[in-house]
Amino acid sequence: MKGRFGTIDIRALLAELRRSLLGMRVSNVYDVDNKTYLIRLQKPDCKATLLVESGIRIHTTEFEWPKNMMPSSFAMKCRKHLKTRRLVSVKQLGIDRIVDFQFGSNEAAYHLIIELYDRVS
């Protein structure tokens, strides 16, 4: 897995995430550390874990990451608003390294916006 994603990498990744994750519901959100989060998704017939490392990467993982004993306030907010919501859209905003995950639809929609950086400064 690459350490940093370019615009084309993101486009290819999102096509794969759409294929495998759309329609799944959030079962829980965990934080590994202060910038890495795991979003557990499931359908009746399958489960998946989406790893989001703030500013760096997004991908599915089968690795069993250690979770914090006390969830952060961000993880708790995500649980409150995203738990049981269906992932209905994954899109790249323009040609930027910004990804929009939409959970739920209409007035009940929540968006998780993630920006991936080119390099650390």
Query: What integer pLDDT is reported at residue 118 of this predicted model?
Result: 67
Query: What integer pLDDT is reported at residue 67 of this predicted model?
Result: 79
**75: region left, alpha or beta (phi > 0 left; psi from -120 to 50 alpha):** alpha
Q: Is 13 exposed, middle or buried (0-12, 13-18, 19+ CB in 10 A)?
A: buried
Backbone phi, then psi, for 58, in 5-degree steps?
-140, 130
**How does pLDDT run along the chain (121 residues), one tens digit per residue?**
556 677 888 899 999 999 999 999 999 999 999 889 999 999 999 999 999 998 888 999 998 887 778 899 999 999 999 999 999 999 999 888 899 999 999 888 999 999 988 665 4
Query: What integer pLDDT is reported at residue 77 of this predicted model?
Result: 96
Query: What integer pLDDT is reported at residue 36 of this predicted model?
Result: 92
Cβ neighbours around 64 below 10 Å, total: 8
